[in-house]
Structure formats: structure tokens, C-alpha cells
Structure 1
Amino acid sequence: MKRIFISGCYDIIHAGHLQFFEEARALGDHLTVSFASEDVLWHHKQRRSSIPDEHKKAVLEGLRMVDEVIIGTDHDLGLDFKTYFLEAKPHVLAVTEDDQYEVIKRNLCEQTGATYRVLPKTPPKFDPISTSGIVKWVKAPTESPLRVDFAGGWLDVPRHAREGAFVVNCAISPLVSLRDWNYEKRAGLGGSGAWALLNGEDGVESELDLGVGWQDPAVIRETGLCVWRSGPRPVLDFKRNGDILAGKLAILWTGSEHDTPGFADDERDYEKIEASGKLARQGILDECLQQLAEGMQVYHSVQLEEGMTPLPEIEGSLARKYCGGGHGGYAVYLFESKASRDDAVEQTPDLRAVEPYCR
């Protein structure tokens, strides 16, 4: 009988593991699967096992291609099964191409006369997934806010950042989910940041890789009415729960999508953008809607200088501006009262009420 041996953490069993088990079992007549004990997992990776060892052992033993399961308890890094291996002397130690412990496993095989066998990557039967990917998916929220930005936009793009400047934004509801997205797409509300969060990702790195700023995933993850320090990465200056904006926000769909990366390096007045952020920041500190509105209007003047189409005036609004990079998408309107906001929503096509969201 030709006995095959494989090892791993197998913390969350997925289809990729099963394919590896089947391919390893095909090398001989008997397959032993070893997994690192809870103690070993904590010792080397500082994380808990997904389930107790005896439960994991029972799950593995229930697989049709597995003949034996052992729990590795040795504290040798990469060789938690060493004691068993030296005694049992299996014929083949099978590993995947990306195994991290080739040298020490080859040395172990030399001690026992076992064959060290690397299984080549074969096309997966399912889209590849990892244990860490599963953990991210499980931890991901089922719903996420989007966001509106008030002032300081583009100063979250590292190459346009300014020391002492600020970016001001707010997470909003209604919330979105992977199955329910009741907003237009590519519309300046930070949808890519929300999508990343819903899939268990941070989102900051992917936005920076696109050559744009970090403000969308930062405020969507943080929630609330936030002031950020301009810089290469998100640093929160302070935040409010957004109550001062309750009943006073609405967004207007302008009828066309926009492309933020495509506008990232257009010429614009960054001095005025910096001034808008400082005005809006002070307005939030003082809980003064008029000063927040002033910051928004200063920023909107920059957008108009860039050549964006003037936004319609709506009765009862204090300020307005395009969200995100502008040139389409949604525009945010700030109203003096809930009554004026609700009247405007009732009378204006494509204008919808939104609310600040703070978790």
C-alpha cells in the first residue's frame, strides 16, 4: 500500500482543498491529512482556529478521499507533524507549488526515505478562493452607506495633497447591498468604496492604484460627518454624527455618468479648494450650516471654472455642488430646513432625499 501524506492548516475547508486532496490521493492507495492544532495555529499565526480541533478532524475524516486524519502538535514551524512523520514513514509527502517550507520538508523526506512530490497547479474546478478570502467575505457587512463630499475634494489624491488642508464629507443612507443598489452607477457617491467594503476589502489601496483619492472608502468605512487631513493616506481630523444635517440633504441626478480618474489631473484652483475645506471644517466645528454652505459654494465655483454645467438653483437650498469629480453624476444640495428639503424633493424631478449615516 502506497501511503500519501499532506499537511496544512485547513482552517476553513473549501473546494480548492478538496481538489488538492483528490489529486494527492490519486498518487497512491492511502491518504493521511494532517492539520495544525489550535495551539500551533496560535503559536505561529496568532489567530484562533475557525472550529475546535475535534470538529475539524471529524469534518476531514468525513471526506471520501481521506483515509486518516492527524492533528499536528509539534511547534517546529512548517513541521507540526514531524513526530508522526518520523514514526509512520509515509511513502510520499505531497505539496502544492506554492508551499513555503520546501527545504525543511525535503530534509525530513531524506531522513525517512519518502518522496517529496510537488503537485503542479491544474485548472481549478471552481474560481480560486483562500481561507483569508473566506474570512474577509464572512466579516464583510451586508449593507454599506454611500457618501457625499462637501469641500476639499482632490486634496485626498496624494499628488495633490496639501499640508494643513482638509477634506470634508459625510456617509449617507439609504444604504446599499450587493443585491440592492438603489442609486445610479458611476455617479460620484463613492460606489467603488462601498463595493469594496461589501466584499470584505478595505478599498483604499485599490482607489490609490487607480490614481484617485482615498476619501470614498475612508468615510464609507468610518461613517458619520467627517473632516480628514489632506495627505497621502486617510487621517481623521474629527467627526460628528451628522445630526446637524438630518432632513437637510438631497441629491440630484444630472443625467450622465462621470469618470473620476479621467479628471484627476485637470487644471483647477487648488488654493480655492483648500479654502473651501477650511470653511466647511469650521462650519462643522461650530455646527453652522451657513458656513458649511459657504465652503460648498466656494468649491462649486471651482467646478464651474473647470467647465462643469451650472447646476439648477432650487428654492430653499443653501448650497449645491457636484459630487466626486463632477462633470455628471449626482450633485448634493444642502437645505435650510427639512420642510424646504421635502418640498423641493416633491417638486423637482430626479431630486431625492438622503440622510447622514453614522454607525
Structure 2
Amino acid sequence: MSSQDKIYTLPQLLKQVQAWREQGQKIVFTNGCFDLLHLGHVDYLEKAKQLGDKLVLGLNTDASISRIKGPSRPLQDEMSRARVMASLLFIDAVVHFDEDTPLKLIEAVQPDILVKGDDYAVEQIVGHEVVQARGGSVMTVPLVKGYSTTNIVRKIENQLNKHN
């Protein structure tokens, strides 16, 4: 299976999720921009996968990221980010969403487990009501401190400014 085989449209994903459910698989869902992949992301996603059988990643589109993080982001286009994320062995499916939050995607997928980093309280996690209403779990996993795309970008900018 190539990394491209793990990038789904929403209709394709819903068929795949149904097939996994019929096999008794627990579906874990998380989301994010994942503009520059770093250790914090890898650690977080690995821990998320350990909570169930299949990990579905909702990935913000370029337009969504620009609205949230400003016109200078994303640094990488959505297909590049999707391929990088799909290449990770613990990610089973990647699907884009264009809204500012993944709520519509969570409503469609109906994951068994919704996961975010521990920088969120469960009540702050978008979609927690949807998942809990059907008996699913909403969980946080500890983040590796000191890793963020914003910090990496800032460090690069500081280095460039020193040399100019």
C-alpha cells in the first residue's frame, strides 16, 4: 500500500470506516494542520493510534489554515502535507476538511474515540458532544513540551534575520 492509498475523499472514507467497523475495529479520530512534521506530532499521533485500531486524521485544507493562522501559512500545500502524514505507519486514513473546525467531519465519521493533545480540556475539544452522545470516548494525550510548528518557524526567521 502506498501513502496515496491512505488519502481519502469523505465518501471513500465513510465506506472504509464502515468496513473497519464491520471487522470490529475501534476508530480513533484526530485532526490538525501538520504544516511541518516534528517530534511532537509523531509522538502525539503514535499515542493516539494506541487508543484504538484505526487512526483517521482530519487534515485542514490550505484555505482553512490561512484563515486560522494567517496569510503566510501553510508552509506546505495540502497534498504535500497529506502524503507526508499518510506515510506514517500509525495513520490509517487522511481526509481533508475545509471548515475552521472538524465538527462536520466528526459528525460524518462518528469515531469511537476522539483525541487531542493535553493542551485542550475535554470540554474544549470540538466534537466532544457528538462522540460522547453515541457512547464514544474523548481523550487527551500528553504532548512533548517545546515542539510546535510556530516555534520552528520563529527559530528559522531568527536565524535568517541574524544573517541578513
TM-score for both structures, normalised by structure 1: 0.35
Whichever residue aligns with residue 97 of structure 1, its letter is D
Whichever residue aligns with residue 70 of structure 1, its letter is V
Q: Which structure: larger Rg?
A: 1
Contact 2:48 2:55 survives alignment (8 Å): yes
Contact 1:6 1:32 survives alignment (8 Å): yes
The 2-side partners of 1:104 and 1:21 are apart by: 18
Counterpart residue number, 2:51: 27
Gaps of 5+ in 2: 1-24
Counterpart residue number, 2:22: none
The 2-side partners of 1:51 and 1:2 are apart by: 31
- 1:64 aligns to 2:101 (yes or no): no
Given candidates 114, 133, 140, the residue that maps to 2:158 is 140
What do you get for the CA RMSD once the two structures are aligned? 2.3
Deviation at 1:73, TM superposition (A): 1.2
Counterpart residue number, 1:16: 40
The 2-side partners of 1:16 and 1:95 are apart by: 12
- 1:74 aligns to 2:92 (yes or no): no
Identify the structure with bigger relative contact order (alpha carbons < 8 Å, sequence gap 6+): 2
The 2-side partners of 1:112 and 1:53 are apart by: 31
Aligned residues: 138
Local SS of the residue matching 1:132: helix
Whichever residue aligns with residue 37 of structure 2, its letter is I
Deviation at 1:110, TM superposition (A): 3.1
Change (3 A) 1:120 1:139: closer
The 1-side partners of 2:103 and 2:125 are apart by: 14
Residues 228-250 of structure 1 deviation map (CA, whole Å, 9 limit, x = unaligned): xxxxxxxxxxxxxxxxxxxxxxx
Contact 2:27 2:113 survives alignment (8 Å): yes
- 1:105 aligns to 2:123 (yes or no): no
Contact 1:38 1:52 survives alignment (8 Å): yes
Taking only the aligned residue pairs, the percentage that are identical comes to 21
Local SS of the residue matching 2:127: helix
Greater strand proportion: 1
Change (3 A) 1:111 1:13: same
Contact 1:86 1:112 survives alignment (8 Å): no
Deviation at 1:112, TM superposition (A): 4.2
Residues 286-313 of structure 1 deviation map (CA, whole Å, 9 limit, x = unaligned): xxxxxxxxxxxxxxxxxxxxxxxxxxxx
Contact 2:111 2:131 survives alignment (8 Å): no
Local SS of the residue matching 1:140: helix
